[in-house]
Amino acid sequence: MEISTLLSHIDNGHMALPEFQRGYVWNRDQVRSFFDSLYKRHPVGSLLVWATQSSNAVHRGDGQLAPGIVKLILDGQQRMTTLYGVIRGKAPEFFEGNSQAFTGLYFNLESEQFMFYSSMKMDDDPLWINVTELMKKGHEGIDELTERIYSRPELTGKSKYVGKLAKLLGIKDVSFNIEDVTGEDKTIDVVVEIFNKVNSGGTKLSKGDLALAKICAEWPDARNLMRVQIDDWKKSDYHFNLDWLLRSVNTILTGEAKFQYLHNQNAEDISNAFNKATKHIDTVLNLISGRLGLDHDRVLFGRFAIPVMVRLLDELKNGLDETTRDKLLFWYAQAGMWGRFSGSTESYIDKDLSAIEGKDNGVDKLIEQLRLWHGGLKVEPGHFSGWSLGARFYPVLYMLTRMGEAKDWGTGIPLKASLLGKMNKLEVHHIFPKAQLYKYGYSRAEVNALANFCFLTKDTNLQISASKPKIYFKKVEKNHPGALSSQWIPMDEDLWKIENYSLFLQERQKLLAEETNRKMEELLHGDTKWLAGTAVWPPQKIYGGISSDDEEKELEELANWVEELNLAPGELAYDYSNPETGQQEAIFDLAWPNGIQEELSEPVAVLLNEGAETITIANNAGFRCFTSVNDFKRYIQNEILKNKEILQIN
């Protein structure tokens, strides 16, 4: 079938996209490569469609389906979306993604090269042709462009350009072979299975995608409503995905973690569970932010504890009293500290869901189960011996700052308040400046130890800059008495000297552990039996991690670069833990545990300035490791974007 006919079928509702398909993921390099292949009349693959009755078809977007048989695209979404976007000059109704990937495509009549618009290169050069403009105007556009070319006396061999224009416009006449999946036996389950098989070279559906596909068959608005809700949380700096939200819906509706129990639920029940889940998630986030001070995504450790909390809130018909609320937050914080959900997530969620069933105090049973799993829940100084912004106790330090009476060293104001103004956003401050410590021969891990971190407003952080503690501490104490001790600084002035830095760290670790245990005791309202005993896992060395603000900025820029290419977002300071026990073993600077093309490509980690131990752990865990930004970018360009199979992605 010719491309022009296929696009007409999309326009009139005879062809659409099934709801379970993911969004548009191609980038500009892929769009240029695709149109280059079309122009040269190279093979670009066939389409696989699901022919089904429109009355039963659950499709993406607001477009109306034509009556009778419609064709839902199973394999070819990226190609058809690209064709529609470039030829029609707008995205199709089913579009979900970044339209800039196909906006502004140009073609050079001399070099026969496709490029995206650049004013410096293309303005005043008649040989650069706007592809969309030509496609929309058709033969009339060829006449206009021919006239423009012939009006330029400096151009020679003008007739060849007319032929190239005709060849470019002729892309609309290129035919695609279409294979149909038909028959009454082709249920959503069968079609999803076919989809995954034909996309063995593309992006498969996750367990959550599979569950959502079946949900959308009953409740077509499900995906859009969930995305709207996720976007709302994103505005508050909490970044979640559909799988995570669906997990909470699932726990409310089925009391189970595994998505398989969600498949046979009806639309009304799922809709009700979604409404309850979003309400309870908002409540939980408000509790975690308001009571624990964990008010953004980077410090929200243990996010998979939230589906358990959501189920508990739904079971407690009379709501939470103050004691139960604080005990629940104690459990949440402790689950984050010890990595309860860093291992086999579904199995641990199921165990905790079982603990809260019945008439007994579910929160007490949750805490007791955590204690039996981990051992004593009391924090020791050694737990603050970790380093880097990715250490598991980094959120604990932030939590202590927000929960207690910690004061800013420049203004003296308590940091637990919600501060306004861009200069009042909390930043990590190295108490002993990095440059000075390196001069004294301290190691990277020592320089970036957690006990050398505190949180200050941006303005104060800039004012202190690289001053030595023995100098600026005295000024802080003079201007704001008690501000230093409010941030658990040892008040022995000998410890403020760089040569005594190691002793400073040891003493501050003690103060931080004592403060953590005090805050945990407050949450337990005197019922402190769970803090007794010794932890099964003593403090141990954690390898790797982001070592500085500059390194973090470099990694953030790299992560943004990857996202701009419409590839999967990476995880900064990725907590790599033993899959069975959840015990943290290393911190990978920037990681894609499911691959940059999720569930297609291998796990990848960018490890800057790391030692052999971290790289070995990552390699043994199946990650492909890159120790330089340039090497990683070459991998993206040469093996991800330039992969010949990329054109076969749905």
Q: What are the pLDDT digits (tens) for 424-449? A: 478 889 999 988 998 999 988 888 88
Q: Hey, CA dihedral for 185, 186, 189, 193, is it positive or negative?
A: positive
Q: How far is CA 412 from the centre of its chain?
A: 36
pTM: 0.72
315 and 213 together in one domain: yes
The neighbour count for residue 372, using CB atoms within 10 Å, is 9
Domain contains 99: yes
What is the mean pLDDT of the segment spanning 296-322? 89
Which residue is it, tokens 């790299």? 558
Claim to verify: residue 359 and residue 407 sit in the same structural domain: no
User: Tokens in use for 508?
Assistant: 């501050």
Contact between 536 and 375 under an 8 Å Cβ cutoff? The reply is: yes
In this structure, the strands spanning 426-430 and 453-457 are: antiparallel
Strand partners, 18: 59
pLDDT value of position 424:
47
Q: Tokens for 173?
A: 């006449």
Same domain, 280 and 320: yes
φ, ψ at 83 (rounded to 5°): -60, -45
Q: Is the pLDDT of residue 281 over 90?
A: yes
Name the band, by pLDDT with cuts 50, 70 and 90, for residue 252.
Answer: very high
Q: What is the Cα–Cα distance from 103 to 91, expressed in whole angstroms?
A: 9
Last residue of one domain, picked from the residues 531, 556, 582:
531
Cβ-based burial of 638 (10 A; exposed 0-12, middle 13-18, buried ≥19)? exposed
598 within some domain = yes
Which sign does the torsion angle of CA 136, 140, 143, 149 carry? negative
Shared domain for 359 and 242, answered yes or no, is: yes
Between the ranges 162-166, 256-260, 535-539, 561-565, where is the mean pLDDT highest?
162-166
Which of 467, 499, 531 terminates a domain? The answer is: 531
Distance CA 72, CA 74 (A): 6
Average of per-residue pLDDT across 611-627: 90
Domain match, 449 and 557 both: no
Enumerate the β-bridge partners of residue 50.
Answer: 72, 181
Asked if 286 and 330 touch (Cβ cutoff 8 Å), the reply is no
Neighbours of 23 (CB within 10 A): 16
The answer on 513 and 398 residing in a single domain is yes
422 confidence band (pLDDT: 50, 70, 90): very low
Specify whether 471 is located in the same domain as 587. no
pLDDT confidence of residue 347: 86
Is 401 contained in some domain? yes
Task: Identify the sign of the CA torsion 145, 148, 152, 157.
Answer: positive
Tell me which amino acid residue 561 is.
W
Q: In this structure, is residue 591 part of a structural domain?
A: yes
Highest mean pLDDT among 145-154, 230-239, 271-280, 347-356: 271-280
Contact 341, 375 (CB under 8 A): no
Number of domains in the chain: 4
Coil/strand/helix, residue 544: strand
The pLDDT-based confidence of 502 (bands split at 50, 70, 90) is very high
Are 636 and 505 in a shared domain? no
Question: Following DSSP, what letter does each residue of 369-385 receive, concatenated?
Answer: HHHHHHB-----GGGG-
pLDDT of residue 192: 65
pLDDT of 568 higher than 70 = yes
Residue 386 shares a structural domain with residue 520 = yes
Q: Does a structural domain hold residue 193?
A: no
- Do 14 and 148 share a domain, yes or no? yes
CB 647 within 8 A of CB 30: yes
Distances in whole angstroms, Cα of residue 103 to Cα of each of 28, 82, 91, 393? 9, 10, 9, 45
- Tell which of 357, 374, 391 closes a domain: 374
Tokens standing for 647? Answer: 């054109």
In this structure, what DSSP letter does residue 450 have? Answer: G
What mean pLDDT, rounded, does the chain reach? Answer: 85
| 530 secondary structure, DSSP code | G
Who's near 277: CB < 8 A, 6+ residues apart?
A: 245, 248, 249, 251, 252, 310
Q: What pLDDT does 200 receive?
A: 47
Residue 420 has pLDDT above 70, yes or no: no
Q: Which helix (H) or strand (E) holds 459?
A: helix 458-464
In a domain, 460, yes or no: yes
* 141 within a domain of the structure (yes/no): yes
**150: three-class secondary structure by DSSP:** helix
Taking the C-alpha atoms of residue 515 and residue 168, their distance in angstroms, rounded to an integer, is: 70
Q: Which carries the bigger pLDDT value, residue 307 or residue 465?
A: 307
Taking the CA atoms of 85, 87, 89 and 94 in sequence, report the sign of the dihedral they define. Answer: negative
> Between the CA of residue 167 and those of 81, 109, 142, 158, what are the distances in Å?
21, 11, 11, 15
DSSP-derived secondary structure for 470-513:
HHHHHHHHHHSTTHHHHTT----GGGGSGGGHHHHHHHHHHHHH
pLDDT value at residue 645: 40
For residue 321, give the 3-state DSSP assignment.
Answer: coil
Q: Are strands 604-606 and 584-592 parallel, antiparallel or unpaired?
A: antiparallel
* Cα(325)–Cα(319) distance, integer angstroms: 9
CA 515 to chain centre: 32
- The boundaries of the domain holding residue 587 are 543-648
Q: Are 134 and 169 in contact (CB under 8 A)?
A: yes
Phi, psi at 557, each rounded to 5°? -65, -40
Report yes or no on 443 lying in a domain. yes
* Mean per-residue pLDDT, 302-329: 91
In this structure, the strands spanning 114-116 and 105-108 are antiparallel
Question: Using alpha carbons only, how large is the chain's radius of gyration in Å?
Answer: 29
226 with 219: CB under 8 angstroms?
A: no
Query: What does the DSSP 8-state code read for residue 77?
Result: H
Residues 56 and 117 in one domain: yes
DSSP state letters, 232-256: HHHHTT----HHHHHHHHHHHHHS-
Q: CB of 93 within 8 A of CB of 136?
A: no
Res 626 pLDDT > 90: yes
Q: Are residues 355 and 427 in the same domain?
A: no
